[in-house]
Structure 1
Amino acid sequence: MSSSLLRRFTVGFAALTGLLGASLAGIRAAEAVTVPILVADVDSGKVIYAQAPTDPWYPASITKLMTTYVALDLVRQGKVSLDSMITISAAAAAEPPSKMGFKPGTQLTLDNALKIIMVKSANDIAYAIGETLGGSIDNFAAMMNETAQRIGMHDSHWYNPNGLPDPRQWTSARDMAVLARALIRDFPDNHDLFSISAIQFGRAVMANHNGLLGRYPGTDGMKTGFICSGGFNVVATATRNGRRIITIVMGQPSPRERDVKAADLFDYAFTQSAGWTSPTLDALPASALPQPPDMRPFVCGGKKAPAIEDGPGAISAPGSAAQLIGGSAANSPALAMAAFSNPALRSRTLPPRAPLQPIAVWIGRNPAEGQQILDAQAAEQKAAAANTRAAKLEAAKAKRIAALEAAKQARAERAERAKATKEAAKTAPKPAAKVAAKPARPLPHAASAYTATTAPSMPEAKPGKGLSKPAPKTAAHKQAPVKKPADKKASAEE
């Protein structure tokens, strides 16, 4: 390798490392986390670029690639077929989103189940695959671990088939590259499974969560994943001029940044040739980390976490690293990598998605049986809704009748109380009437207001005289005052 080319590689890798760590710039230096990145050639297994490739990481739904390998391997061995029926158990139906929401007891073919988990990333379907093919989730997880070791995955530990959070379940970027190569190598007839743009179930059309499909030219797989602890991950493959590249990007804070970084890595990788000095996937050194970092504080923080596997991907303005630096990237890897640190590039998105081409999926053994099941379920739902409405109407009617009866009863009780009160009033003994003080007989106009305190009696006769005169009239009776001698004035006022 010439010194000029080596210098360009050095500058390019330095620029790339600066960009890929930019999303974690807010983390304190003591808490810095290097997110795993890996770009490799599919045919040779040579590494084009690697950053923390063997560090343990929470895989999220890229776990479903491992589930799919185990299922296709069982088909290859003749133990099951793509027409084998997968049954949704109550435990599978209880798995959190993303999910199809099928009722317990629903059945579908393994072929349809695999299409659904690759496109919709349905956790209930992946769980049902594990239960049905393994007999139990623990048995299927053991099959996943045995298969991983056999195909050369050294950093992975599997405990469930759908990638929902489990602190014991992790993988590495290198292991996912090994798995992607094994899927392409061992099951060439099934590679279209990883590039379906959308599925259609009944009238519902569900687009693939992979934001590179239909946006980045040449993308032909594979799978995305998200949980708060692992961030937004993707295992992607793209082909250009007969050459296929694998890109793994993990721990990103959003689907857009994940998709754009993967696209820029593809742009860079297709300008490079993995020479004899490039390491192979097997030659990458083991990580010193004992367990994965928890990205939850940096990806989800205190906010509500995004719905698992529901990231819409990039859908805005076109543009690539090569286009935004004037087309010089194709001939200058160093410039292409340096362009990654450009803020305009970091904020860009990919072109709008090409029109979807949905693939039909169904429950039951075939579309006709699936339609019959859907019709029966629709009839049941309609009947249940009608019963619910009838029950509500009946309950409202009963409530009105009860209210009327209660009002009638209350009126009757009030009338009864009034009648009882009236009867009691009739039969009760009358209380003794108070004898009102007999008003004094009005005094004649000539009477005085002041009368004697003792009862009048006959005056005592004096010798030689007749009866005495009546008592003098008082002033209280408001009659004309009696003229009195002046010498008696003080006595009268007193």
Structure 2
Amino acid sequence: MSSSLLRRVTVGFAALTGLLGTSLIGIQAASAVTAPILVVDVDSGKVIYSQAPTDPWYPASITKLMTTYVALDLVRQGKVSLDSMVTISAAAASEPPSKMGFKPGTQLTLDNALKIIMVKSANDIAYAIGENLGGSIEGFADQMNETAQRIGMRDSRWTNPNGLPDPRQWTSARDMAVLARALIRDFPDSHDLFSISAIQFGRAVMANHNGLLGRYPGADGMKTGFICSGGFNVVATASRNGRRVITIVMGQPSPRERDVKAADLFDYAFTQSAGWTSPTLDALPASSLGGPPDIRPYVCGGKKPPPIDDGAGAVSAPGSAAQLIGGSVANSPALAMAAFSSPALRARTLPPRAPLQPIAVWIGRNPAEGQQILAAQESEQKTAAANTRAARLEAAKAKREAALQAAKQAREARLEQVKAANAAKAAAKPAAKVAAKPAHGLPRSASAYTSVETPGMPEAKPGKGLSKPVAKPAAHKAPAKPEGKKAEVKKPQGKKAAAEE
């Protein structure tokens, strides 16, 4: 049974409905998606090894190789130069990471912009290149598609210059090999652009995301990329004994596995010769798939997506995780062993990265202007920070004063309420007393049946500083009236007389 037939009998990922009415179908086993792999001799264009080489795949940031080809081609035509200024628009500045984070209106040379997208893989810079060179992103995408057709890419569709997710944009391993050969052939003076180990912007040093550079002997370019739907991809070149090879690995679950597999494929390629029986890139059969599979569930698993391809590079390939995804029967015993995760592959490691050799990049037309712009921006940031702090202090002060004023007003309001309540009570007391007295009450002394009583002073008790109370006179009888005379009776005189009785 042929390799192609084995690869296509697996079934899995459901059909995805794409834009423009195109059905994006990935007919693969849910747990065994066939990842595109291709190894090609640069000089002859002969295929050394292939696996699903023409199947459509989401390119991610290897798209920036296409962006770079279009830009260099415009330079070659004299329409722009490497010193042409690229302006960051608000739309470019809003692109998600990886990015440089320049403010809208910032300018830099096309040369620096290309270095940044090759090393940092900055999406905002690639977007700005597209806008400036194509007039719009749509205009630049048209240039990308026209150029792709002209250089022999037949499986690719481009809609943006940075490779951020778009279900309408895909490529194939074969097309990326065609593009890599075209970059090497058509722009030999720009070869170093693809092998920069790091860039330095101001004080910041940013290493290349390509984990093979400085680790695999002879590795000398090109570009990596990652999105959840397409996994970790790389287009890499390496040279040994005067021979140059392109290796393309796509759809891997981590940069580590991607780099280890690419290194092993290079090892294999340098032991093989592309004979007359080896197919050329043009001879590879077209894929039967209508669109790329979405491997997000396999790579990102519905959890928080892995970080943007950060160039951590390969350190080791642990256990079965290093297996080629759904690897079909390889076209040689050596590759068959590697494809199905032999003990040799499980133990495979890459050496530590060689010391970085950063290349300076800047904004503005030259480093001096760039320093002036950075100094001005730093001053603006400090001023803005100081203004922000002052505004916060003023706001806090105003808030405190408002709180104190509110508290004062609340106290005054409570005092007014207390005063009002006291006034109301004072006004209510006399009215209550008048209401308590009978309207026509009679004095007790007015009664014909009660004696008039006048309350006297209370008796003082002895020992309280007052004289002893006078003892009450003993009761005595009135003296006998003298005979012959009537007893003289004195009439009481006023209240005093009545009291004495």
Is 1:232–2:244 an aligned residue pair?
A: no
The 8 Å contact of residues 260 and 317 in structure 2, kept in 1 or not, is answered as: no
2:136 corresponds to: 136
Report the alpha carbon displacement of residue 408 of structure 1 after superposing the two structures with TM: 1.1
Report the alpha carbon displacement of residue 310 of structure 1 after superposing the two structures with TM: 2.6
The 8 Å contact of residues 106 and 363 in structure 1, kept in 2 or not, is answered as: yes
Report the alpha carbon displacement of residue 376 of structure 1 after superposing the two structures with TM: 0.6
Amino acid in the other structure paired with 1:168? R
The 8 Å contact of residues 61 and 309 in structure 1, kept in 2 or not, is answered as: no
CA gap of 1:159–1:258, structure 2 versus 1, over 3 A, is same
Report the alpha carbon displacement of residue 420 of structure 1 after superposing the two structures with TM: 1.6
Rounded to whole Å, the distance in 2 between the matches of 1:30 and 1:121 is 31
1:4 corresponds to: none
Rounded to whole Å, the distance in 2 between the matches of 1:235 and 1:362 is 27
1:90 corresponds to: 90
Report the alpha carbon displacement of residue 421 of structure 1 after superposing the two structures with TM: 1.7
Is 1:103–2:103 an aligned residue pair?
A: yes
2:476 corresponds to: none
1:410 corresponds to: 410
The 8 Å contact of residues 317 and 352 in structure 1, kept in 2 or not, is answered as: no
The 8 Å contact of residues 98 and 307 in structure 1, kept in 2 or not, is answered as: no
Is 1:338–2:337 an aligned residue pair?
A: yes
Rounded to whole Å, the distance in 2 between the matches of 1:355 and 1:115 is 19
1:256 corresponds to: 256
RMSD (CA atoms)? 2.5
User: Alpha-carbon deviations, 1:215-234, whole Å to 9, x = none?
Assistant: 10000000001111111000
Is 1:352–2:358 an aligned residue pair?
A: no
Is 1:376–2:368 an aligned residue pair?
A: no
1:310 corresponds to: 310
Amino acid in the other structure paired with 1:201? F
The 8 Å contact of residues 86 and 113 in structure 2, kept in 1 or not, is answered as: yes
CA gap of 1:422–1:396, structure 2 versus 1, over 3 A, is same
User: Alpha-carbon deviations, 1:297-348, whole Å to 9, x = none?
Assistant: 1111111112333352224699xxxxxxxxxxxxxx8457525522462364
Amino acid in the other structure paired with 2:337? A
CA gap of 1:251–1:378, structure 2 versus 1, over 3 A, is same
1:118 corresponds to: 118
Rounded to whole Å, the distance in 2 between the matches of 1:316 and 1:412 is 76
Amino acid in the other structure paired with 1:56? P
- Structure 1: runs of 5 or more not aligned: 1-9, 319-332, 439-494
User: Alpha-carbon deviations, 1:324-380, whole Å to 9, x = none?
Assistant: xxxxxxxxx845752552246236442111111110000000001011111111111
The 8 Å contact of residues 98 and 121 in structure 1, kept in 2 or not, is answered as: yes
1:195 corresponds to: 195
Matches within 5 A, 1:152-231: 152-231=152-231
2:76 corresponds to: 76
Rounded to whole Å, the distance in 1 between the matches of 2:28 and 2:372 is 58
The 8 Å contact of residues 253 and 298 in structure 2, kept in 1 or not, is answered as: yes
Q: Secondary structure at the match of 1:125?
A: helix
Corresponding pairs, count: 404
Report the alpha carbon displacement of residue 276 of structure 1 after superposing the two structures with TM: 0.7
The 8 Å contact of residues 245 and 266 in structure 2, kept in 1 or not, is answered as: yes
User: Alpha-carbon deviations, 1:243-272, whole Å to 9, x = none?
Assistant: 100000000011000000000000000000
The 8 Å contact of residues 218 and 240 in structure 2, kept in 1 or not, is answered as: yes
Amino acid in the other structure paired with 1:65? L
The 8 Å contact of residues 215 and 353 in structure 2, kept in 1 or not, is answered as: yes
| Residues 306-315 or 70-79, more deviating | 306-315
Report the alpha carbon displacement of residue 424 of structure 1 after superposing the two structures with TM: 2.1
The 8 Å contact of residues 255 and 313 in structure 1, kept in 2 or not, is answered as: yes
The 8 Å contact of residues 316 and 352 in structure 1, kept in 2 or not, is answered as: no
Amino acid in the other structure paired with 1:42? V
Percentage identity across aligned positions? 83
Is 1:423–2:423 an aligned residue pair?
A: yes
Q: Secondary structure at the match of 2:414?
A: helix
- Structure 2: runs of 5 or more not aligned: 14-26, 319-331, 439-443, 445-501
1:282 corresponds to: 282
TM-score, normalisation: structure 2? 0.77
Q: Secondary structure at the match of 1:313?
A: coil
1:385 corresponds to: 385
Rounded to whole Å, the distance in 2 between the matches of 1:391 and 1:347 is 60
Rounded to whole Å, the distance in 1 between the matches of 2:142 and 2:115 is 23
Rounded to whole Å, the distance in 2 between the matches of 1:344 and 1:41 is 25
